[in-house]
Each structure stands twice: as C-alpha cells, then as structure tokens.
Chains A and B, each alone.
Chain A
Amino acid sequence: EAQVTQNPRYLITVTGKKLTVTCSQNMNHEYMSWYRQDPGLGLRQIYYSMNVEVTDKGDVPEGYKVSRKEKRNFPLILESPSPNQTSLYFCASSLAGQGNEQFFGPGTRLTVL
C-alpha cells in the first residue's frame, strides 16, 4: 500500500531534550516536506527536499533540522525543543514538479513541556 508513515504519532517531551520524528514513504517520490499545523494558522511548511541531499527552508524553519540521506526517509530533528514547538506535524511526499499531488502522513502530535 502506497503510504507515508510517521513515528511517533504522539510525543510528550521536555524543553531541551533532542528528538527526532521519522518520516518514510514507499512511493519513490523525489519531493518530501514537513509542515506544522497550529490552531488558526493553517499548515505552514518547515522544510522541504527536492531529492536526496537537497533540502531547503520553508516558511518556518527556525528550531528545526532535516536530512535526506535516502530517498524514502526525511526525518525532522528538534535539537533543543521549546514549548512554542508544541504542534501537530505532518510529513508529505510527491513526485517532483509543482502541482503534483502531495501525500500526507497521519501526523505527529508533539507536546513540549
């Protein structure tokens, strides 16, 4: 089944404790991205990747890191999480090129205390 998976689905952590949210897709998509969703603010893109070893900042990259060492995986790293990073996070993938349908993961609800 074609899908985007994220882990963990739920995470409660404390300020400053490094964490990684994994994202994996099995559709051989070149393009992957991370979004955060907050009430009243819609979906905002954090980082995106056009292919292996090619990443770039989205609208709200501060406090986040990503890597794209393999085509299927695109982990989101929070080196020193803070409470303002409490949010619902989505990973997405698509074929290269604008306008292609993005496939979203189930989401990761992160709480930073």
Chain B
Amino acid sequence: DAKTTQPPSMDCAEGRAANLPCNHSTISGNEYVYWYRQIHSQGPQYIIHGLKNNETNEMASLIITEDRKSSTLILPHATLRDTAVYYCIVIRDDKIIFGKGTRLHILP
C-alpha cells in the first residue's frame, strides 16, 4: 500500500490559513493524492485530489511538490467548522487505505 505520513495534530487560529502537510515518498507516477476530512463521527467528506499540478476548489488548495513525494492541503481562511481529522490518501491497487490523519484544532 502507498503509505502516507501526517502529523497527528495541528492548531490553527481562526481566520488564518491552515497548512496540513503529508509525506508520500513511495508514490508512483500515476497515483493520485486525495484528501478527505471527518468531522466528529460523520462519514468522511471529500475535499480535493491531484496528480501533479496544484489544484484549487471552493474548499481548499492542494500543493504537490515537483518530485510528488509530499503535498500540502491549504484551507485559506480556517473557521471553527473546519475542526476535523484530515486524511491524506494515495490509492494503490484499488484499495483506499486511511491512515491516522491529522487532527486539526481551530482556535477562536
């Protein structure tokens, strides 16, 4: 399985940008990086995904390094509702494996 490494927790002040890192040094050339988040006990929610280029949508931006060994999810203006566990995933062999993720605390 394509393994990812994330910090277990992070804090961010409300209104500031939250930058969540992910290391995926064993990623292969055609494997996408996906980000999901899970708020409290709800089902995970898709945020964004990318292959090589940086991506942006209404929720977040995804910055992938040129060598594709790491990426950063950016929430541009974090709010209290962004408090959640954020998962970085690389899919290999049709298996979507969630790691432990990063617990993001938004501080008022």
Partners in one complex: no
